[in-house]
Amino acid sequence: MATYFLFLSLHVLGACIWVGGHLVLATRILPRALRERRASVVSDFEQAYERIGLPALAVQVATGLWLAHRALGGWSGWLAANPPARVIQLKLLLLAATVALAIHAKLRVIPRLRDDNLPVLGAHIVGVTTLGVLFTLAGASLRFGGYPLFTP
């Protein structure tokens, strides 16, 4: 019980940092950078944020996998078609999409970032933020057995 409490608390704390940070970036920092046409507004924020944001995402994945194993058991549970298993499968898809966007941004977009191509990075930021909000909705639905995202 104590481990469950600890891992769930770390998972919620990680969600606050990951989704909260991206909401600030997408709704406050990015619009200002676009208005002023200054890519450095975003890169300065990202440089400061990634020190806490990336460890938070790593904590999300580690605690999430542990919580999912606790909820679903072995492989047959993870591959089942019931609503809680569907939510976990959705979370794994969201994770794959988040990692793909992050790798693309890091390797292809950020090295070529200039004031005039900032909207390309902006699209990535909006994408990762939207995925983060969907992660949160999916996580909260697990308390309701997967409802309202999936029904038996």
Q: Which of 13, 17, 92, 126 binds ligand HEM (CB under 6 A)?
A: 92
Indicate the residue among 42 and 98 with the shorter CB distance to ligand HEM.
98
For the segment 21-60, give every residue that binds ligand HEM (CB under 6 A). Answer: 57, 60
Q: Which of 91, 118, 122, 124 binds ligand HEM (CB under 6 A)?
A: 91
Q: Which of 68, 80, 83 is nearest to 148 (CA)?
A: 83
d(CA 131, CA 51): 20
Asked if 142 contacts 84 with a C-beta cutoff of 8 angstroms, the reply is yes
Q: Which of 71, 62, 76, 47 is nearest to 14 (CA)?
A: 62
Q: Which of 10, 15, 33, 41 binds ligand HEM (CB under 6 A)?
A: 15
The answer to the question of residue 71 lying near ligand HEM (CB under 6 A) is yes
The answer to the question of residue 127 lying near ligand HEM (CB under 6 A) is no
What single string gives the DSSP state of each residue in 47-113?
Answer: HHHHHHHHHHHHHHHHHHHHHHHHHH-SHHHHT--SHHHHHHHHHHHHHHHHHHHHHHIIIIIGGG-
CB of 15 to ligand HEM, least distance (A): 4
Q: Which of 21, 53, 64, 83 binds ligand HEM (CB under 6 A)?
A: 64
Contact set with ligand HEM (CB under 6 A): 8, 11-12, 15, 18-19, 57, 60-61, 64-65, 67-68, 71, 88, 91-92, 95, 132, 135-136, 139-140, 142-143
